[in-house]
Structure formats: C-alpha cells, structure tokens
Structure 1
Amino acid sequence: MKIFMIADDSPVIRKVAKRIIEDLGFVVVEAADGLQAQAMCADNMPDGILIDWDMPGMDGLELVQWLGAYPKADKLKILFCTSEVNVPLLTRAKRAGAGGFLLKPFNRQMIAKKFGEVGLLEEPPVAA
C-alpha cells in the first residue's frame, strides 16, 4: 500500500485531505510543519506528499527544494498546495521538483485528478 504525507500547518486541511486521500487507497501520515515533514521523510520516505506553501519552521518551497536535492526522494511525487495563484512561487516550486499544484479549497475530484496526473493513481478513480 502506498504512503502519502500531508504537510500542512492547518489541522482542518490535514483532516479533510486525509479523509479524501485514504478513500483513494493510501495510508496517510501527517506533518504539522516543514521541519516535521523533513524529519519524517528522512526517516521513511512516502510515495507522495502534499506540501503547503506557508508553514512555520520551514516553508513549503524550502521543503520542496530540500526534497529535490535529497537522494532518497528521487521517486517522490510532490504536489505543492497554495490558496493563491502566485506564478513566480509556482515556477520556483516546479523548478525545485514539484510535479503538480493544488489550489485550496480542493475536493475529492481535484485531488484524484492531480494524483492521476503525477502518476500516484494507476487507474482513474470511480466518481463518488
């Protein structure tokens, strides 16, 4: 079974995303900030990660940059999550290794579509 990490400082976002992602067949682990996510990834790299842009300790872009340079993250699927379209930030995240972007607020269909685009889902999800 695939492991997916949600790195977001909002407990509400983590709860909503966790419910959706578990329904897609993943085991979900949570990190409340970038530093916690970094430590958890160094210990046990997930298959995919949803990274919030604005987190305490280490922001999302810094985490994407660290993961992009970390040898054990070479197969990691990274989705960068933000509540606003900031083209320069999204461009930097893409260059650092983000494979896709997810805008808040999101729903099950949006997450499933992004998971398919980055190769986390092998077959299209059934509509709920």
Structure 2
Amino acid sequence: MKTGLVVDDSRVVRTVARRLLEGWSFTVTEAQNGAEALERCTEAMPDVILLDWNMPVANGVDFLKGLRASPGGAAPKVIFCTTMNDLDHITEALSLGADEYIMKPFDADILKEKLEAVGLLEEYSA
C-alpha cells in the first residue's frame, strides 16, 4: 500500500488532504510543521509528501532541504501545496527537489492529476 505524509499547520488542510489520499488507498500520517515531518520520515519514509510552505518551527523549504539530505530522502515524491504562487517560489521549490507544485486551495481533481504526474496514481479514463 502507498503511504503519504501531509505536512501543514492547518488541521483543516491536513484533514482534507488525508481524506483525499485515503480515498485513493494511501496510508496517511500527518505533521504540523517541518521539524515534526522530518521525525515522521525518520520513522518511515513515505511515498508522497504534501507540503505547505509557511509553517512555524520549520517551514516547507527547511524541511525539503533536510529531507533530501537524509538517508532515503531522495525517494519520496514531494508536492508543495501552498498559497505562495509566484514564479520565484515555484522555481525555488522545484530547484530544491520538489516534484510538483499545487496552489491552495486545491481540489481532488488537481491533487489526483499531480499524483498521476509523479507516478503514484494510474490514470483512469472516464
């Protein structure tokens, strides 16, 4: 079974993202900030990480740098899910190792499309 980690300081966003991922048969864990997320990854490296940019303690960029430098940290697909939607932020995230980028608010169709793009969901024709 595929695994996911939702990293966001908003409980509402974590809950929505968790429900979407679980609907696609992911086992999901959550973290409220980048520091907590790195701990979760040390316990078990997920297949995909949905990552917010602005969080207390450790933001998304700090987490991503730490993740990619850690053993096994190159493996997870990282999808930034954030309101930071200018070209500079998108470029920075991708240059640091993010695989995809979603603007908040996002819906099931957008998330599904990104999971398909990174190879974690098969495309189904309707």
**What's the TM-score, normalizing by structure 2?**
0.94
Shift of 1:84: 3.4
What code does the residue aligned with 2:6 have? I
Counterpart position of 2:96? 96
Secondary structure of 1:73's aligned partner: coil
What is the aligned-residue RMSD (CA, Å)? 1.3
Contact 1:65 / 1:93 at 8 angstroms: preserved in 2?
no
Counterpart position of 1:119? 119
Counterpart position of 2:11? 11
Return 5+ residue gaps in structure 2 as ranges. Answer: none
Shift of 1:24: 1.0
Shift of 1:125: 4.7
* 4+ residue segments displaced more than 2 Å: none
Q: Which moved more, 1:83-92 or 1:26-35?
A: 83-92
Counterpart position of 2:75? 75
In structure 2, relative to structure 1, the CA distance for the partners of 1:10 and 1:116 (3 Å cut) is: same
Counterpart position of 2:53? 53
CA distance in structure 2 between the aligned counterparts of 1:126 and 1:105, rounded to whole angstroms: 25
In structure 2, relative to structure 1, the CA distance for the partners of 1:11 and 1:26 (3 Å cut) is: same
Please list the CA deviations of residues 79-106 of structure 1 after superposition, one character each: whole Å capped at 9, or x if unmatched: 0111131221221111111000011111
User: What's the % identity of the aligned pairs?
Assistant: 39
**What's the TM-score, normalizing by structure 1?**
0.92
CA distance in structure 1 between the aligned counterparts of 2:33 and 2:87, rounded to whole angstroms: 23
What code does the residue aligned with 2:123 have? P
Contact 2:53 / 2:84 at 8 angstroms: preserved in 1?
no
